[in-house]
């Protein structure tokens, strides 16, 4: 990649990150945390598609000292880019890769009791946080198995520094889900308290993600593992509207107008001739496609983009590398113009939540599928759009 890379990054399709908005979100989230609770940003899946190196670098500059990732190799990548402090791997690591945990000073989640034994069998000390299952039934040792969990503390090669659980229904306000979530919190803190009494006083306990923090701040432990909110979004647009803290979107997604065409009535465009012009129609071909993470489900008029402050509907089927839009009625569009897929243009804007709603998913999926072909550019808070940092 780097060999061919030109100094100009806004060539085809790219992501712009607002450093100012990231800082705003960090401060807004930190203001919600009790004094003894530290923000532990979640940088999995390339920081929800934003670009983990850039985001982590900014966070480190802001004084953040603890991070989460999903995989051991995501942790390695952060270390290689100079990230210090604690990096917790939330997901499964194969025993063949345990050596990487040590080599890069990563902290591994103990996903259950048999896994604790595998980690211990490495024969050399590994830092861990114990995952506890309080009802999600994904990862974690069952919260009821106090003796198994206590025994993990005694395993010779496990340096147990934390214990955590994950809420599975913190995002709804149904009474049943609230009861369930409170039960998760109670069982977890009861367990953590007993372990701390039994000789692990410095064990860090944590439970909250973004929705947990917004809806159950009273459950805050020593860390808050915040992902989606950090990026200035929630899973749905409706949730974002109801959100009591003001978050600002960090990411904009843009692409170039490659070519402009005029179609007469009855002429078709794109694969399968899925679009047919009803009358004289002007189209633009954009240099972004589903391989970049633009959902193909936005094809045929479901989605739209912004060009020169005006909406241009997507026509025909989105291709792997390109997308057609209808620009009839948008004056002066020129090849090389910017098209905004997520972000602002003039007085209009399109959010990741809009794309999620149009395609029946959540913003988390829209973000995390944004592909490696997109350049990621961090835009300075002071200078007007000046580039201060590049993704690689």
User: Which positions are annotated as active-site residues?
Assistant: 44, 271
Q: Which of 209, 232, 249, 343 binds ligand PLP (CB under 6 A)?
A: 209
- Token pair 């998760």 in the structure block, residue: 184
Nearer to ligand PLP, 206 or 256 (CB): 206
Which of these segments, 4-12, 205-213, 254-262, 329-337, binds ligand PLP (CB under 6 A)? Answer: 205-213
**Number of residues engaging ligand PLP in binding (CB under 6 A):** 12
Give me the 149-188 binding string for ligand PLP, x by CB under 6 A, dash otherwise: -----------------x----------------------
| Closest approach of ligand PLP to the CB of residue 42, in Å | 4
The least CB distance from residue 363 to ligand PLP, in Å, is 10
Residues 110 and 82: beta-carbon distance below 8 Å: no
Q: Which one, 169 or 258, has the nearer CB to ligand PLP?
A: 169
* Secondary structure letter of residue 176 according to DSSP: H
Tell me whether residue 226 or residue 324 sits nearer to ligand PLP (CB atom). Answer: 226
Contact 254, 12 (CB under 8 A): no
Residue nearest ligand PLP by beta-carbon distance? 227
Min CB(220)–ligand PLP separation in Å: 13
Q: Give residues 74-113 in contact with ligand PLP (rule: CB under 6 A).
A: 90
d(CA 307, CA 225): 37
Q: How far is CA 190 from CA 30, 198, 213, 275, in A?
A: 26, 12, 19, 60
Site for ligand PLP in 37-56 (CB under 6 A): 42, 44
Give the shortest CB-44-to-ligand PLP separation in angstroms.
6
Return the number of the residue (345 or 363) whose C-beta is nearest ligand PLP.
363
CB 227 within 8 A of CB 47: no
Q: Judged by CB under 6 A, which stretch of 9-17, 176-184, 207-215, 236-244 contacts ligand PLP?
A: 207-215
- Residues with Cβ within 8 Å of residue 63, at least 6 apart in sequence: none
Structure tokens that stand for 67 in this block? 């991070």
Query: Considering only residues 211-250, where is the footprint of ligand PLP by CB under 6 A?
Result: 211, 225-229
Assess 129 for contact with ligand PLP (CB under 6 A): no
Which residue's CB is nearer to ligand PLP, number 247 or number 355? Answer: 247
Of these, 25, 210, 322, 391, which contacts ligand PLP (CB under 6 A)?
210
Residue of 207, 192, 132, 123 lying closest to 158 (CA atoms)? 123
d(CA 388, CA 25): 19
Residues 289 and 284: their CA atoms lie apart, in Å, by 13
What six digits make up the tokens of 253? 């997604």
Per DSSP, the residues of 325-372 read EE-TT-TT--TT-EEEEEEEETTEEE-HHHHHHHHTS-HHHHHHT--T
Collapsing DSSP to helix, strand or coil, 67 comes out as: strand
CB of 212 to ligand PLP, least distance (A): 8
Q: Residues interacting with ligand PLP, by CB under 6 A? A: 42, 44, 90, 166, 209-211, 225-229
């Amino acid at each position: 990649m780097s060999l061919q890379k030109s100094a100009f990054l806004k060539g085809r399709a790219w992501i712009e990150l607002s450093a100012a908005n990231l800082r705003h979100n960090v401060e807004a989230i930190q203001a919600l945390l009790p004094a003894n609770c530290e923000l532990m940003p979640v940088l999995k899946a390339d920081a929800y598609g934003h670009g983990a190196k850039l985001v982590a670098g900014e966070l480190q500059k802001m004084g953040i000292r603890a991070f989460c990732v999903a995989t051991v190799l995501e942790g390695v990548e952060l270390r290689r880019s100079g990230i210090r402090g604690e990096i917790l791997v939330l997901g499964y690591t194969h025993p063949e890769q345990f050596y990487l945990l040590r080599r890069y000073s990563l902290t591994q989640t103990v996903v259950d009791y048999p896994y604790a034994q595998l980690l211990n069998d490495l024969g050399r000390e590994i830092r861990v946080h114990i995952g506890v299952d309080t009802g999600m039934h994904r990862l974690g040792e069952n919260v009821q198995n106090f003796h198994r969990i206590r025994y993990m503390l005694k395993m010779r090669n496990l340096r147990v520094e934390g214990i955590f659980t994950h809420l599975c229904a913190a995002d709804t306000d149904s009474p049943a889900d609230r009861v369930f979530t409170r039960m998760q919190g109670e069982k977890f803190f009861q367990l953590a308290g007993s372990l701390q009494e039994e000789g692990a006083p410095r064990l860090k306990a944590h439970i909250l993600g973004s929705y947990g923090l917004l809806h159950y701040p009273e459950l805050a432990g020593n860390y808050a593992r915040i992902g989606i909110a950090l990026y200035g979004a929630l899973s749905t647009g409706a949730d974002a509207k109801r959100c009591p803290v003001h978050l600002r979107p960090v990411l904009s997604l843009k692409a170039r107008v490659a070519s402009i065409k005029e179609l007469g009535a009855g002429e078709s465009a794109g694969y399968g001739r899925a679009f047919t012009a009803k009358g004289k129609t002007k189209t633009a071909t954009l240099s972004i496609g589903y391989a970049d993470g633009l959902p193909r489900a936005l094809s045929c008029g479901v989605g739209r983009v912004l060009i020169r402050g005006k909406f241009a509907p997507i026509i025909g089927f989105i291709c792997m590398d390109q997308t057609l839009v209808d620009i009839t009625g948008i004056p002066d569009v020129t090849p090389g113009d910017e098209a905004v897929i997520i972000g602002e243009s003039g007085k209009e804007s399109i959010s990741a939540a809009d794309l999620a709603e149009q395609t029946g998913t959540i913003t988390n999926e829209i973000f995390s599928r944004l592909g490696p072909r997109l350049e990621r550019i961090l835009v300075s808070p002071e200078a007007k759009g000046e580039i201060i940092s590049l993704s690689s």
